[in-house]
Structures are given as C-alpha cells and as structure tokens.
Amino acid sequence: MKIMRVLLCVVLLMSGTVLAGGLVTNTNQSAAFMRTLNRNASTDVDAVYFNPAGLTKLCCNGLFLDVSNQTIWQTKTITNSTENLNHDGEFVGEVFAPVFPTAYVAYKMDKLVLSGGFMPIGGGGSAEYEDGLPSFETTLASYVGIPTSYINAALSPYGTINGYGLDVNFSGSSIYYGFQGGVSYEINDLLSMSLGGRYVIAKNSYEGYLKNMTLHTSSGVDLTSAILGSALADVEVKASQNGSGIAGIIGVNISPNENLNIGIRYETITKMELTNDTETDNSGLFPDDSTYGADMPSQLAIGISYKMGKLKLMSDFNYFGNSAVDWDGDEDGFDNGMEIGLAAEYALTEKMKVSLGGLYSKSGATDESQSDMDFNLDTYTIGGGLLYAVTPKIQVNLGALSTTYFEGQNALMIEKYNQTTFGIAFGVQVKL
C-alpha cells in the first residue's frame, strides 16, 4: 500500500493566509485593521500598505512610524466519513502565530511622500497535527474487516484485520516576508498617485514521520513492516522550500471633499517559484532542488471612507486574480476571490475612538480543489477595538477579531472542513 503525498500537507496547509486575505495574500497588515477590518481608504501611516497614494493626506511634513503586532490562534477540523478510521474520523490541527509584526515608515515633504514597509504578506504561523490527517490513514483503514489472505495467501492463519495503528508526528511553518517601498505625489487637492513595489521572500519548512505502521489481526498478531516489508515502511521527511518574487504597486487617492476619501490600489501578480532544500526524504515526494510554481495573485483593492461629525464610515473591496497564477496546474481548481466589508468608527472623546467592523471573504475554492491537505473556506469576520491618543504625536491601536467559517466539503462528499480563528493586536503610531 502507498501513503499518498505524505507530509506535503504541512506546506499546503501553512502556505495560505493566517487570517484575512486571498488564498495566499494576508491583508491583516496593521493593528488598525484588526479593529476595523476596512483600511483601503486609510490616510494614516498604515496607508503605506493599504492606500499608498493616501499618504499625501498625512497631517504635516516630517517622519511617521507605525509598528504593530498581532497574535493569532487558529483551529482546523477535518471530519472524514470513511469507515474504520481512528479518532472517529475527526482530525484537528492547531495553528499559532504569536508574532505577526508589521512596520511602516513615511516621510512627507509637502506634496511628495517616500515610504517603506515590512509585513508578513503570506503565511506567518506554525502548525502542529498530533493525529495526522485522514489521507495518512484511509489506505490502512480500507483493510479493516478483510481476511489477511487478501493481502497475501501466506497470511491466512492470522484471520481478519480488525484495526490498525501508526505513530505520526509532523509540524511545519510558512512565512512570506514582504519588503515594500514607494513614492506618493499629490497632484492637487482632489487627486494623488503612487508608484511602488514589493520584494517577497518565501520560506516553508517542515519535518515529520510516519512510523510503526501496523495492521491488527483477529489472531492477536500485528502485521508490521517486518512481515509486509515496504508496504508498511517508515516514512520520514525534513526539508524546506525557498523562493522570491517582485510585485508592482500602483495607487490612486481621490478626495472630492474633506469628508469623503477614496483609495484605489492595484498589485501585479508576484511571479515566484519555490525550490526544495531537502535533508531527508524517503517518500520520494521532495527531490532536492526541484521547483514548483507558487505565484501570489494580483489584487485590486478599493476603499471608501466618509466622516459625519464624530462618526466615520469605512468600506473595502478586494479582488484576487487566482485564475492567472501558476501553481503547477492546481490553479484550475480555483475561481477568482473577493472580500467586501463595512466598518464604523466613533470618537468618544478627543483622545479616544472606538470601532467595529465586518468583512466577508470568498476564497474562490471549488469543491474539486478541497482536500484535507489543502482546504480554503469562505468566511465572515467581526473585529473591534479602540484608538487612543497618548500625546498629540503618539497613538495606540488595540484590536481583536473573531472569524466564522462556512463549512466546506470535497467533491466526493466524504470530508467536511471547519475552522475557527481568533486574533488580538497592539500597535503604535508615532510622528517624529
């Protein structure tokens, strides 16, 4: 018997987004985002990422900084209806990202703004799957209830197979670091434009094993690799994958009046290949130095904000060009994705503002693309928090969010997929 695609799941499950965004791209890129979920029309320092053309609306000339961190917890649950699986067919994976930092800097000189940023543009967490995945066990489970002679006539004295066992241990991490720079210019009070780029460095790492695979028989004898040979041989993998790519970023900011602001950002596709750097792999799935397509999709981001006295309303729309990427053929199972959101911010005092936002995300994944090794679900997220001005030059953002996932299934309808996500954030904005 063959254990299919052993341990590849670690990379696939971790290479997607930790929280908000498309299939690959993280859009949760500031503490202010965590408390509003809608920042595409931002004119604060985090506009370096969300609305670079809007940086021309910063209050005054000089240097601005924004530094924040998010901590994110995520649970992935897979329920498989195949008969005779261990764990009652339920497999749980835990993703934890204790450090998810972003840093932005902008220097305004009248109509001109120079900016730079650092962010985990993809991935950003580590995963642990204590019980493995259904794909690791479905072949073993398929032997339960059949005579041992079905495997080999010489094994007929052992009766029937009434169970199985194996030791599974694997973990993995994925991070796509983004280094961004740009130039913004105010053409007039109505219109500003920006041009920039992002250099992405991607790294996936994973290690694990399947050991001590056994078939339990009605005679009390366990069939192991000592009896069945390579059919139950141990599998061990320790490897990493690395790559890099560049995206262009174009921005437009439109301010029809002092209360209404519109931000538009377009990011080109990030063409990228990941290369295996393999230390151990007796599965044959990760040949050293082999490559595969890992493009990051293009993105169109539009945001609108409108002030009404103490109240500010914000709305975002993101569109991800999944169908144009090269994922070695896997892109055929995905349609383009989108996000749409709405938020409100209210000034309680001159120093404190509170906010609440919602965001709906459609991943673009079809049932044909879903598996325990790589599933992507549509979501609805609620976030809230506050902004507090410690001094006229120092502001603090606090935020928290919770994401609800719409249950998914695979094309064969034997598996169901669920997730839960919770995150908190703290950030500081400084005018130097």
Percentage, residues of the chain above pLDDT 70: 95
Find, among 289, 362, 365, the residue nearest to 319 by Cα.
362
Where residue 23 falls among pLDDT bands split at 50, 70, 90?
confident
Q: What is the pLDDT of residue 2?
A: 37
Backbone conformation region of residue 123, classed left if phi is above 0, alpha if psi is from -120 to 50, else beta: left
User: How high is the mean pLDDT of the chain?
Assistant: 90
Where residue 12 falls among pLDDT bands split at 50, 70, 90?
very low
d(CA 202, CA 48): 21
Q: What is the pLDDT of residue 202?
A: 94
Backbone conformation region of residue 416, classed left if phi is above 0, alpha if psi is from -120 to 50, else beta: beta
- Measured CA angle at 247 (ends 245, 253), to 5 deg: 160
In tens, the pLDDT along 282-313 reads 877 789 999 989 999 999 999 999 999 999 99
Tell me the average pLDDT across 162-176. 85
Tell me the average pLDDT across 144-154. 91
Q: What is the pLDDT of residue 50?
A: 98
pLDDT at 132 over 90: no
Tell me the average pLDDT across 414-431. 95
Burial 335-350 (b: 16+ CB within 10 A, else e): eebbbbbbbbbeeeee
In tens, the pLDDT along 42-91 reads 999 999 999 999 999 999 999 999 999 999 998 889 999 998 998 888 98
**Topology, domain 8-431:** Porin (2.40.160)
d(CA 142, CA 144): 6
pLDDT at 4 over 50: no
Q: What is the pLDDT of residue 9?
A: 43
Q: What is the pLDDT of residue 7?
A: 40
In tens, the pLDDT along 176-193 reads 999 999 999 999 999 999
Tell me the average pLDDT across 133-145. 86
Displacement of CA 408 from its chain's centroid (Å): 17
Residue pair 185/192 in contact (Cβ under 8 Å)? The answer is yes
pLDDT at 206 over 50: yes
CA distance readout (Å), 128 to 95, 280, 313, 415:
7, 19, 39, 20
With the C-alpha atoms ordered 215, 217, 222, 225, is the resulting torsion angle positive or negative? Answer: negative
In tens, the pLDDT along 331-379 reads 888 899 999 999 999 999 999 999 999 999 999 988 888 888 778 899 9
In tens, the pLDDT along 220-265 reads 999 998 888 877 888 888 889 999 999 999 999 999 999 999 999 9
Q: What is the pLDDT of residue 18?
A: 54
Where residue 174 falls among pLDDT bands split at 50, 70, 90?
confident
Q: Could you tell me which residues come within 8 angstroms of residue 7 by beta carbon, excluding any fewer than 6 positions away?
A: 170, 206, 208, 235, 237, 283, 285
Amino acid sitting at position 226: A
With the C-alpha atoms ordered 415, 362, 322, 424, is the resulting torsion angle positive or negative? Answer: negative
Q: What is the pLDDT of residue 20?
A: 65
Q: What is the pLDDT of residue 13?
A: 45
